[in-house]
Structure 1
Amino acid sequence: KDCTDLHFAAYHTATVAHAGQDIQGTSVIANLPLLMRQNPAETLRRVLPKVRDALRVAGVEMQLTAAVSFLTILQEESVSVHTYAHSFLQVILLHLEHRDAGVSNAWLETLLSVIEVLPKDTLRHEILNPLVSKAQLSQTVQSRLVSCKILGKLTNKFDALAIKREILPLVKSLCQDVEYEVRSCMCRQLENIAQGIGTELTKSVVLPELIELSRDEGSSVRLAAFETLVNLLDIFDTDDRSQTILPVVKSFCEKSFKADESILISLSFHLGKLCHGLYGIFTPDQHLRFLEFYKKLCTLGLQQENGHNENQIPPQILEQEKKYVLVRKNCAYNFPAMIVFVDPKNFHMELYSTFFCLCHDPEVPVRYTIAICFYEVSKLLNSGVYLIHKELITLLQDESLEVLDALIDHLPEILELMSTGGESSVQENKLSSLPDLVPALTAAEQRAAASLKWRTHEKLLQKYACLPQVISSDQIYYRFLQRMFTIMMTNNVLPVQKAASRTLCIFLRYNRKQEQRHEVIQKLIEQLGQGKSYWNRLRFLDTCEFIIEIFSKSFFCKYFFLPAIELTHDPVANVRMKLCYLLPKVKSTLKIPADKHLLQQLEMCVRKLLCQEKDKDVLAIVKRTVLELDRMEMSMDAFQKKFYEKDLLDQEKEREELLLLEMVCFHMHTHLLFSDHLPFGPADKIINREESALVNLLEGSHLSSGLHLADCIAPSSFSSNTSLPSTSRGTGNSADPKISGSKDTQPRKATLKKLIVNRKNNIDGTG
Structure 2
Amino acid sequence: MASSESGDDSLYPIAVLIDELRNEDVQLRLNSIKKLSTIALALGVERSRTELIPFLTDTIYDEDEVLLALAEQLGSFTALVGGPEHVHCLLPPLESLATVEETVVRDKAVESLRKLSEEHSAADLEAHFIPLVKRLSSGDWFTSRTSACGLFSVSYPKCSVGVKSELRQHYRNLCADDTPMVRRAAASKLGELAKAVELEQLKTDLIPLFVNLAGDEQDSVRLLAVEACVNIAGLLSHEDTESLIMPTLRQCAEDKSWRVRYMVADKFTDIQTAVGPEITKADLVPAFQSLLKDCEAEVRAASAHKVKEFCNALPADSREQIIMTNILPCVKELVADANQHVKSALASVIMGLSPILGKDNTIEHLLPLFLAQLKDECPEVRLNIISNLDCVNEVIGIRQLSQSLLPAIVELAEDTKWRVRLAIIEYMPLLAGQLGMEIFDEKLNGLCIAWLSDHVFAIREAATNNLKKLVEKFGTEWAQNTVIPTVLKMAREQNYLHRMTCLFCINVLAEGVGADVTIKSMLPVVLTLAEDQVANVRFNVAKTMQKIRPLLDANTYQNQIEPALKKLGGDEDADVKYFAMEAMAAVPAS
Corresponding residue number in structure 2 for 1:385: 362
Structure 1 residue 354: Cα displacement = 1.1
Aligned with 2:427 (options 463, 468, 487): 463
How far does the alpha carbon of each residue in 1:542-597 deviate from its partner, in whole angstroms, 9 at most, with x for none?
3234324655666555543553466566666655655555557635546xxxxxxx
From the superposition, tell whether residues 251 and 49 of structure 1 become closer, same or farther in structure 2 (CA, over 3 Å).
closer
From the superposition, tell whether residues 437 and 532 of structure 1 become closer, same or farther in structure 2 (CA, over 3 Å).
closer
Structure 1 residue 179: Cα displacement = 1.4
From the superposition, tell whether residues 35 and 116 of structure 1 become closer, same or farther in structure 2 (CA, over 3 Å).
closer
Corresponding residue number in structure 2 for 1:523: 486
Q: 2:27 aligned with 1:27, yes or no?
A: yes
Corresponding residue number in structure 1 for 2:229: 229
Aligned with 1:296 (options 290, 297, 316): 290
Corresponding residue number in structure 1 for 2:9: none
Residues 496 and 534, structure 2, Cα contact 8 Å, conserved in 1: yes
Corresponding residue number in structure 1 for 2:579: 618
**Partner-residue secondary structure (3-state), 1:446:** coil
From the superposition, tell whether residues 545 and 584 of structure 1 become closer, same or farther in structure 2 (CA, over 3 Å).
same
Q: CA RMSD in A?
A: 4.5
From the superposition, tell whether residues 607 and 78 of structure 1 become closer, same or farther in structure 2 (CA, over 3 Å).
farther
The amino acid of 1:171's aligned partner reads R
Q: 2:408 aligned with 1:439, yes or no?
A: yes
Structure number with greater CO (CA < 8 Å, separation at least 6) is: 1
Q: 2:234 aligned with 1:242, yes or no?
A: no
**Partner-residue secondary structure (3-state), 1:97:** coil
Residues 36 and 73, structure 1, Cα contact 8 Å, conserved in 2: yes
Aligned with 1:268 (options 243, 265, 270): 265
From the superposition, tell whether residues 459 and 120 of structure 1 become closer, same or farther in structure 2 (CA, over 3 Å).
farther
* Cα distance in 2 between the residues matched to 1:457 and 1:533: 21
Corresponding residue number in structure 2 for 1:601: 556
The amino acid of 1:541's aligned partner reads L
Structure 1 residue 231: Cα displacement = 2.8
Structure 1 residue 407: Cα displacement = 3.6
From the superposition, tell whether residues 373 and 117 of structure 1 become closer, same or farther in structure 2 (CA, over 3 Å).
farther
Structure 1 residue 524: Cα displacement = 0.7
* Cα distance in 2 between the residues matched to 1:81 and 1:457: 59
* Cα distance in 2 between the residues matched to 1:49 and 1:623: 69
Aligned with 2:303 (options 314, 331, 339): 331
Corresponding residue number in structure 2 for 1:687: none
Aligned with 1:208 (options 204, 210, 215): 204
The amino acid of 1:204's aligned partner reads E
Structure 1 residue 226: Cα displacement = 4.3
Structure 1 residue 38: Cα displacement = 8.7
Aligned-pair identity in percent equals 13
How far does the alpha carbon of each residue in 1:388-439 deviate from its partner, in whole angstroms, 9 at most, with x for none?
112222222222223334444xx2xx433433412xxx4642443x1x5323
The amino acid of 2:299's aligned partner reads V
Residues 539 and 579, structure 2, Cα contact 8 Å, conserved in 1: yes
557-566 or 372-381, which moves further after superposition? 557-566
Residues 442 and 479, structure 1, Cα contact 8 Å, conserved in 2: no
Q: 2:14 aligned with 1:18, yes or no?
A: no
Residues 272 and 337, structure 1, Cα contact 8 Å, conserved in 2: yes
**Partner-residue secondary structure (3-state), 1:235:** coil
Residues 17 and 51, structure 1, Cα contact 8 Å, conserved in 2: no
Matches within 5 A, 1:468-507: 468-469=432-433, 476-477=440-441, 480-493=444-457, 495-506=458-469
**Partner-residue secondary structure (3-state), 1:300:** coil
**Partner-residue secondary structure (3-state), 2:28:** helix
From the superposition, tell whether residues 27 and 356 of structure 1 become closer, same or farther in structure 2 (CA, over 3 Å).
same
Corresponding residue number in structure 2 for 1:398: 376
The amino acid of 1:146's aligned partner reads S
From the superposition, tell whether residues 186 and 585 of structure 1 become closer, same or farther in structure 2 (CA, over 3 Å).
same
The amino acid of 1:542's aligned partner reads F
From the superposition, tell whether residues 243 and 16 of structure 1 become closer, same or farther in structure 2 (CA, over 3 Å).
closer
Residues 112 and 153, structure 1, Cα contact 8 Å, conserved in 2: no
Corresponding residue number in structure 1 for 2:216: 218
* Cα distance in 2 between the residues matched to 1:551 and 1:246: 70
* Cα distance in 1 between the residues matched to 2:415 and 2:540: 30
From the superposition, tell whether residues 40 and 587 of structure 1 become closer, same or farther in structure 2 (CA, over 3 Å).
farther
From the superposition, tell whether residues 164 and 369 of structure 1 become closer, same or farther in structure 2 (CA, over 3 Å).
farther
From the superposition, tell whether residues 554 and 213 of structure 1 become closer, same or farther in structure 2 (CA, over 3 Å).
farther
Aligned with 1:563 (options 525, 543, 547): 525
**Partner-residue secondary structure (3-state), 2:150:** helix
Structure 1 residue 287: Cα displacement = 2.9
Structure 1 residue 499: Cα displacement = 0.8
How far does the alpha carbon of each residue in 1:104-142 deviate from its partner, in whole angstroms, 9 at most, with x for none?
442332441464267325866654332233324x64443
Structure 1 residue 328: Cα displacement = 1.0
Provide TM-score, normalisation by structure 1: 0.61
**Partner-residue secondary structure (3-state), 1:491:** coil
Residues 356 and 391, structure 1, Cα contact 8 Å, conserved in 2: yes
The amino acid of 1:18's aligned partner reads R
* Cα distance in 2 between the residues matched to 1:532 and 1:36: 68
Corresponding residue number in structure 1 for 2:177: 179
Residues 213 and 225, structure 1, Cα contact 8 Å, conserved in 2: no
The amino acid of 1:97's aligned partner reads T
How far does the alpha carbon of each residue in 1:517-537 deviate from its partner, in whole angstroms, 9 at most, with x for none?
646422211214x55555434
Residues 576 and 618, structure 1, Cα contact 8 Å, conserved in 2: no
Corresponding residue number in structure 2 for 1:107: 106
**Partner-residue secondary structure (3-state), 1:421:** helix
Residues 18 and 51, structure 1, Cα contact 8 Å, conserved in 2: no
Q: 2:505 aligned with 1:543, yes or no?
A: yes
* Cα distance in 2 between the residues matched to 1:31 and 1:553: 59
How far does the alpha carbon of each residue in 1:230-270 deviate from its partner, in whole angstroms, 9 at most, with x for none?
2343333xxx2223445531453157536443332232233
Residues 176 and 183, structure 1, Cα contact 8 Å, conserved in 2: no
Aligned residue pairs total 554
Residues 88 and 120, structure 2, Cα contact 8 Å, conserved in 1: no
Residues 329 and 365, structure 1, Cα contact 8 Å, conserved in 2: yes
- Unaligned runs of 5+ residues in structure 2 are 5-11
How far does the alpha carbon of each residue in 1:284-305 deviate from its partner, in whole angstroms, 9 at most, with x for none?
xx8356433322321222xxxx
Corresponding residue number in structure 1 for 2:188: 188
Residues 355 and 392, structure 2, Cα contact 8 Å, conserved in 1: no
* Cα distance in 1 between the residues matched to 2:33 and 2:126: 28
Provide TM-score, normalisation by structure 2: 0.77
Structure 1 residue 96: Cα displacement = 2.1
* Cα distance in 2 between the residues matched to 1:465 and 1:620: 37
Residues 583 and 625, structure 1, Cα contact 8 Å, conserved in 2: no
Residues 214 and 222, structure 1, Cα contact 8 Å, conserved in 2: no
From the superposition, tell whether residues 553 and 256 of structure 1 become closer, same or farther in structure 2 (CA, over 3 Å).
same
Residues 505 and 546, structure 1, Cα contact 8 Å, conserved in 2: yes
Matches within 5 A, 1:630-645: none
From the superposition, tell whether residues 570 and 34 of structure 1 become closer, same or farther in structure 2 (CA, over 3 Å).
farther
Residues 401 and 448, structure 1, Cα contact 8 Å, conserved in 2: yes
From the superposition, tell whether residues 477 and 93 of structure 1 become closer, same or farther in structure 2 (CA, over 3 Å).
same
Corresponding residue number in structure 2 for 1:151: 152
Aligned with 1:131 (options 130, 133, 139): 133
* Cα distance in 2 between the residues matched to 1:258 and 1:395: 31
- Unaligned runs of 5+ residues in structure 1 are 302-323, 591-597, 631-767
Residues 229 and 245, structure 1, Cα contact 8 Å, conserved in 2: no
